[in-house]
Amino acid sequence: MAEEFQAFVDILHAELPRNILRGTILNSIKGLLKKTLDADLLLETCWRLAGNVEQLLEQEAVPVWGQQTKFEWIPAEICEVSTVKRFSKLEHQFVFASLAGSIVPLKLVQNWSFRKTYYLTTYRDEHGNGFGFGRHRMNGRGEQLGHLLYYDVRQFYGLQCLLLLDPTRSMTDPVATEIGQTGAMTKHNRDLIRQRDRSETACIKGLGDHQECYTCPYGTDRCVNATHPVTYAKGACPRCTKMGFFDPQEEDHLGICVNCVFEERRS
């Protein structure tokens, strides 16, 4: 076991930038010594190291996150979006996947009010960066002149931002207290919103101008512009008795269609 572990350290050392000392890598993964390195754990380990190369180059070990020790901006991508009822009020719930930083590969949750969500769609900082949605503009005849517009919270799926981790609140789980953006993230967001906007870009699956991405059954496993990870299955729903789509990853409300799940979470 010890020999296999040392061989694994050597493999990582050879793949990472050569200025990183072998001892730094060893100290970063020594928690694996008594664990079985399955596919999931291997992916998490490689993601953690790749997401913290700058720290490794400073010869700073990056072990599995246990508690936040300093304020830290991390890049994150929204990987799950839903509407939930919390404290008798409806809110939007966003799950963020960390892309780099000390918490990689952990995820964290943000609950935003409808008002905050709508405000952030078009908010720009002093450098013009933000989530990237366009502003609604009407002419004198009531015609919509705006483009890349926000209509549904599911449009946030796949968008990126920076989150500020607060060490005073991140004891057992990472907690973010502020949101930021970079120019590269804003470009990523705008490009993705444009690809999903039927008035700007044709559907790459050939479904026509009527098919909005946020109502499409395709997941990112089959379409890069999708607004959920796994393609839905089709069938009859026992709750509403209609033909509908079912999310294979749904765990809380099994056996009912995505529309019924949406209503169930709101109730």
DSSP strand E in 138-216: where? 160-165, 176-180
Q: How does pLDDT run across 244-253, given as a tens digit for each residue?
A: 999 999 988 8
Q: Count CB-CB contacts under 10 A for residue 96.
A: 24
How far from chain centre, in Å, is Cα 214? Answer: 15
Q: Residue 192: helix, strand or coil by DSSP? A: helix
pLDDT digits (tens, 9 = 90+) for 190-211: 999 999 999 899 999 999 888 9
Q: What average pLDDT score do residues 218-228 get?
A: 97
Helix (H) or strand (E) holding 93: strand 89-98
Whole-model pTM over 0.95: no
pLDDT of residue 141: 75
Q: For position 267, what pLDDT does the model report?
A: 75
The answer to whether the beta carbons of residues 31 and 41 sit under 8 Å apart is no
Segment among 67-81, 117-131, 136-150, 188-202 with least mean pLDDT: 136-150
Per the CB < 8 A criterion, the answer to whether 23 and 30 are in contact is no
pLDDT band at 266 (very low <50, low <70, confident <90, very high): confident
Q: Are 108 and 173 in contact (CB under 8 A)?
A: yes
Q: Residue 252: what pLDDT? A: 85
Q: With CA atoms as reference, report the closest residue to 177 among 68, 87, 55, 65.
A: 68
Q: What is the pLDDT of residues 2-54, one digit of tens each?
A: 888 999 999 999 999 999 999 999 999 999 988 888 999 999 999 999 999 99
Structure tokens of 108? 């964290």
Task: Find the mean pLDDT for residues 110-128.
Answer: 96
Over range 107-135, report the average pLDDT: 96
